[in-house]
Structure formats: C-alpha cells, structure tokens
Amino acid sequence: MTRPYVPWLLLAVALALAAVYLFPLYWMYITSLKSGSEIFANPPTFWPREADPSVYGAVWSRRTMSTFLWNSTLIAAGVTAITVIFGTGCAYVLARYRNVWVDVGLFAILMLQVLPASVMVTPLFVAFNQFGLLNYPRTAVVLAAAAKAMPFFVVLVRATFMTVPRELEEAALVDGNSRMGAFFSIVLPLARNGILVCAILTFMSSFGEYIYSKSIIQDPSLQPASVGLSGFLGPNSTDWNSIMAYSAIYVTPILAVFVLLQRRIVSGLTSGALK
Amino acid sequence: MKHHRIRVSEFGWGEGAFSSSLKRRLLHPKCFAIRLLPQREGWSAARLGGLMQRFLSGLRDGVGFDILLISIAMLFLIAMAGLPLVYNVLMSFQQVDMFTLGSFIRPFAGIQNYIDVVRQPEFWLVTRNTAVFVFFSMAGQFVLGFALALFFAQKFPGAATIRGLFLVSWVMPGLVVGAIWSWILAGDFGVLNAILKSLGIIQSNIFWKSDPSVSIWAVIIANIWLGLAFNMLLLSVGLAGISRDLYEAAELDGANAFQRFWTITLPMMRSTIGAVLSLGLIGTLQQFDLFPAITEGGPANTSTVAQYWSWQMSFQLYDFAKGATISVMMLVLVLFASIIYVRSTRHEVRG
C-alpha cells in the first residue's frame, strides 16, 4: 500500500510551514525596501510597489553603524577568544575523567549555564564599579559575556571530545609524546571541527549580546549594534523602514553564516545540546 | 621504552584514576619524603632547580596538565559568575544606594529589602505577569515544537534541511527579533492585525503593545516564535532515539496512531521531555531582550516580568539593593528548574 505522492505532499506542507515560520524575516527585508509612506499603507502591501534601497545608505551613515558593528565584532571576538582558550581545556578534562570531582564540575557548569544574565548584571556592575573596570567598559562586557557563554561551550565541546577515541591518545603516549604533546598534536586536530562550530555559535550569540552592553557601556562610541538598535526602538517607534534596514544590515551576516553552516551547526547541537 | 610502559599503565583512565593517582603521589610516605623533603644536601640551588623541573614536567606530562587546564577555566568562572552570585545575595541584605555603591562595607539591612520589594505596589502584578509569561511561553513552545518535531520525523525529501531552517530564529540577536515582532504587532499598521482581519478572526485592530490587557501577550507571541525551534530540535533528537521496532510491533498488534503516540512515544520520551521543559523554563526566565524591544514593560507595568523589573530597579532607578533582591528571589525559581534539568539529563551527561 505505498502511495508515492505522500512524501511530496509532506514536502509541500513542510515548505508551507517553513514559509509561515520565516515570514517575520521576509517582512523585515520587505519593509526595509518600502518607502516611508508605503509602510503605512492599509491594507499592507506584501511586495513593495517600488523597491527603494536608499534607506540602507541613510541608516548606515546617520546611525553610525560602522562604529556599532565594529564594537559588536570586537566584543564577540573577545568573548569567543576567552571562551575557546579557557573552555576547550576544561571540556577536555571533563571528558577524559570519570570521578566524583568531574561530577561536581559538571554540575557547577550546568548550574552556571542556567543563570540569567539579568540576575548577574547587578552584582557584576557593582563589582566592576568597585574595581574600576567600568573605565574599560568593552573589556568588562567581554569578561561578563565570556562567563555567560563558556558553560554552554564546555558542554558542547565535551561531547565532541567524547567522540575522540582514547586509544589514539594512548598510542601517542606509548610513542613517546608527553600528555601536552598528545593533546596538541592528536586530540585537538581530531576535535577541530566540533570546536570550530561551537566557536562560531559563541561568536554569533555574543554578536547579539545586549543586556551587559546596555548596562555597562555608557559611551555611544563604544556601544555594540544591539544597543544602537535599542536607541531608536520602543513602543512608540514609527521609523519602521529605517529600523528594519538597520536590523537587516545587522542580521544578514549572521544569517549567511548560518545558512552556509546549517548542517554542521544542527548536528553539533544535537550531539551535545541535550546532554 | 620501559619508562613509557610504566607511565602508560600508571596513567590509567577510568573510574577514580584522577583521585587515586593524586592520592598515591601525595600520601605515599616514601614518595613524600623523597620528593619534597631534602634529606642531606639541604636546599641547594640545584635541588630547587630539580623540584622546579619536576613541577614543570608534571604540568607538561602528568596530572598537573589536567589540573592546569581545568583550573584556569574554573578560576575564571568562579571570579565572573560564582563570586558575583554570592555578592548578589550579600547585597540583597545590605543598604545599597548611590552613596554606598562604591564602598566595600555597607550598612546591614536585614530582610528590609525583601519587605520593601513585596510592598511595592507592582509586586503582585509582576509576579502574575511572570507566571503568565513563563507558563504560556513554555506551553506554546512545547506544544508547537512537539507537533513540528512529529511532523518532521516523517520521511520525505529535504526533511532535515527544512527543519534546520527553523533554527534561524535561535541564532538571531534577541533585540532584532524583538524589533521585527514589534513592527508585526504594531497596532494601526501592523501586518498581524491586517492578516487577522482579512481572515475574519477580529473585527477591529488589537493594540498589542499599548492595550494593558494584551501587552504581555505581545511578548509571549514573540518568545514562542523565538524558542519554538530549539524545542523542536531537542524533541526531534529524542524522537529519533526511539527504536522503529517498537512502532512496528505495536502496529502489528493493531494499535492506532493515537495509541502508539500515547503508549510508546510519550513514555519513551520522558527524560527528553523533562529536559526540554526545564530548559524551556530556564530559557524563558533568561529572556530579556524582547521586553525593551517590544513593550519596555508597559503600559503601566502590565508587561513587566521579574527579570526586567530587576534590571529596571538597578539601571533605571539605581536602586541596586532592590534589583539584587528581586534577582535573588528569581534565582530560587531558576535553581528549582535546573535541579529538574540536571536530574533528567544526569545519565546522559555522564554517558
């Protein structure tokens, strides 16, 4: 009783579901191309009458987006560097041993993973203020956000290290490598892809970091793009085509990376996320 | 060669390897005496150099290497997350205002902060909003995510790729998601009202963001969209782990689709569902970015939830003590959720 049309019917339904789900993204791009009067048309037009991309250039220069995006990139790069350098070794040790200390460490890391940033921001701000770190606000944000990003990274990368067979490492030790040598020349190269995917995920999520930056960085020339967006966004905003153009510029690089690496990201998440 | 063999056997991974080898080194009387106590020569430079070398080679080649790797990360996390957490609890019992903000010793306030927070006129409104936000966000994310996961578990071309596209919401900055939904939900020109009207579901515009009775729903809708994909992905993993044989056997026994779902899928997914629900609770309590982007907690606090209220206290009213107090209260809730999470994933973590 095989019905050959069923898979294609399911495919059609799946595409329709995806279209509904991704409609907000479509609406962002379409709105950004509409003219200032067309966005208030009633009923709304689902395809711009005349596409006008000039708002992109205007938003870019008027909102000093190059500064904002540069700061976002700096912060995300700093967070990723700290997370990868500190987190990889930690994940390796947690993957290699099985004892009560590892259980304690894992439990602590799972607990840290669940702490909301909104809970941590008050004590961090007060402590940074006392230690004078608020004079280096971007560094302060990088430190705070790295502590937020690291637990998730460790959990995912640990799952990657679990897939590297111990026998390979032991063979390297028999051949005269030190532990350090075996780690750098055998284990790390084998886990490279998993670490890379997790590093990209860390970069993407800290590229959109908002709450720490908003609370800690007061100087507009040091703020990232998320804070820049919040500057002209609120319950009473009307400047919707500029806001959508800003959002589109901000989010398109992330979307491009995601589409390119989609398969790897999904498989990296499914191997580690539930664990 | 002999040297290596000894080391590898001593090196033994597995249960208790770490603590037992450490114990052996530290507690064995002979080893202790030889390694740490200079017996005849005294503390000569050469001896110190030897000790130093042994220490360095331990870092490079022994348990020291592992301890070094893990302690850097742990020290960082303790400094940036553990201590601030303790500090937060401490501040909730202190008098913290603009004058004492920079000083290390502040007057003790007892539980006065907690009394003040509960006596705030908006306290019960915020509590109710938090409960509504958490419950309906989780319910929406879970039900829709489960439905989609079941749908994408069917076999058809491109299922995995199309399912992966849904995850795009998860990598987007929260503030951008908030901006887009803020525009979709706009009262007079928002596209959602236009669609609902053309479908005949509503007669007049709903002012999602400015009507006090629905403003919390504006954020809930956006949050369901945001968290749906991650729920679906985790549930898909759980579904893929159920053996097909079970379903075939049930089918032979004449169980219909509903019975198969009820007697096989749900019981087999119990630990996955526990993990997804507790992650959903944690994720919902972590959700912050949508509030400043969509409603800013308004109108009149009708869409303020605990995490946003705590932030407003600290960074808009500069009442850091109350901000810390609210976040400690919230933390209790988060710890409760994370205990469920850890319990439901424990065996998988170790596996």
Closest-approach residue (CA) in chain B for A114:
B282
| Structure confidence by residue, pLDDT tens digits, B64-82 | 888 888 889 989 999 998 8
Predicted confidence (pLDDT) per residue in B172-181, tens digit: 999 999 999 9
* Percent of chain A at pLDDT exceeding 70: 96
Cβ contact B65–A204 (<8 Å) = no
Place of tokens 């700093």: A78
Residue A83 burial by Cβ neighbours in a 10 Å radius (0-12, 13-18, 19+):
buried
CA distance B175 to chain A (A): 6
**Residue B72 to residue A86, Cβ atoms within 8 A:** yes
Q: How many residues does chain B have?
A: 351
- Kindly report the nearest CA distance between residue B80 and chain A, in angstroms: 6
- Of B47, B275, B37, the C-alpha closest to A155 is B275
Tally C-beta pairs within 8 A across A and B: 340
- The reply to whether A68 touches chain B by the CB within 8 Å rule is no
User: Which tops the pLDDT comparison, B180 or B26?
Assistant: B180
Write phi, then psi, for A35 (nearest 5 degrees). -80, 165
Residue B138 confidence (pLDDT) above 60: yes
Residue A167, pLDDT score: 86
Q: Which residue does chain B place closest to A251, by CA atoms?
A: B172
Interatomic CA distance for residues A92 and A162, integer angstroms: 8
Delineate the domains of chain A, giving CATH numbers in brackets. 69-272 (1.10.3720.10)
CA distance A205 to A148: 11
pTM of the predicted protein model: 0.83
Per-residue buried b or exposed e for A168-182, using 16+ beta carbons within 10 Å of the residue's own CB: ebbebbeeebbbbeb
- Residue B9: count of CB within 10 angstroms of its CB: 8
| Averaged pLDDT for residues B295-299 | 82
The owner of tokens 């080679």 is: B57
Percent of chain B with pLDDT over 70: 83
Cα distance between residue A25 and residue B168, in whole Å: 10
Note the pLDDT of residue B337: 75
Q: Which of residues 261-300 of B touch A (CB under 8 A)?
A: 272, 275, 282, 285-286, 288-289, 292-296, 298-299
Q: Is A116 on the interface with B (CB under 8 A)?
A: yes
In this complex, is the C-beta atom of A261 within 8 Å of any C-beta atom belonging to chain B?
no
* Residues of A whose CB is below 8 A from B210: 235
Alpha-carbon distance of A223 to A210, in angstroms, equals 10
Q: What is the model's pLDDT at position B1?
A: 35
pLDDT confidence of residue B61: 67
Distance from CA of A58 to the nearest CA of B (A): 19
Which residues of B, range 151-190, sit inside 8 Å of A by Cβ?
151-152, 154-169, 171-184, 186, 188-189
CB-based contacts of B36, cutoff 8 Å, min separation 6: none
The answer to whether residues A197 and A171 touch, using CB atoms and an 8 Å cutoff, is no
Q: What angle do CA B113, B116, B118 make, to 5 degrees?
A: 110
Q: pLDDT band for position A272 (50/70/90)?
A: low
Query: CA of A248, closest CA in chain B: separation in Å?
Result: 9
Share of chain B above pLDDT 90, in %: 21
Paired with B14 in beta bridges are A97
Give the pLDDT score at B43.
57
In 3D space, the residue among A150, A148, A262 whose CA is nearest the CA of residue A210 turns out to be: A148
The domain segmentation of chain B, as residue ranges, is 2-91, 113-350
Q: Which amino acid is at A116?
A: P
Centre a 10 Å sphere on the Cβ of residue B91 and count the other Cβ atoms it contains: 27
DSSP lists the bridge partners of residue A97 as B14
Is pLDDT of A273 > 50? no
Looking at B102-253, list the stretches that DSSP marks H as alpha helix, in order from N- to C-terminal side. Answer: 112-119, 123-152, 159-166, 168-171, 174-184, 191-198, 215-240, 244-252
> Considering only CB atoms, which chain B residues are within 8 Å of A208?
172-176, 289
Q: What pLDDT sits at residue A70?
A: 94
- Using DSSP bridges, classify how beta strands B14-15 and A97-98 pair: parallel, antiparallel or unpaired: parallel
* pLDDT at residue B38 tops 60: no
Q: How confident is the model at residue B32 (pLDDT cuts 50, 70, 90)?
A: very low
CA atoms within a 13 Å half-sphere pointing along the CA-CB vector of A198: 31
Distance separating alpha carbons of residues B257 and B243, to the nearest angstrom: 16
The ipTM estimated for the assembled molecules is: 0.89
The residue in chain A having the minimum alpha-carbon distance to the alpha carbon of residue B288 is A118
Angstrom distance (rounded) from CA A192 to CA A137:
32
The pLDDT score that the predictor gives to residue A274 is 45
Q: Does domain B113-350 have CATH number 1.10.3720.10?
A: yes
The per-residue DSSP string of B88-131 comes to HHHHTTB---TTTTT-S---B-TTHHHHHHHHSTTHHHHHHHHH
pLDDT tens-place string over residues A153-196:
998 888 888 888 888 888 888 888 888 888 888 888 888 888 99
How close A80 comes to chain B (CA, Å)? 14
Stretch B105-114: mean pLDDT: 84
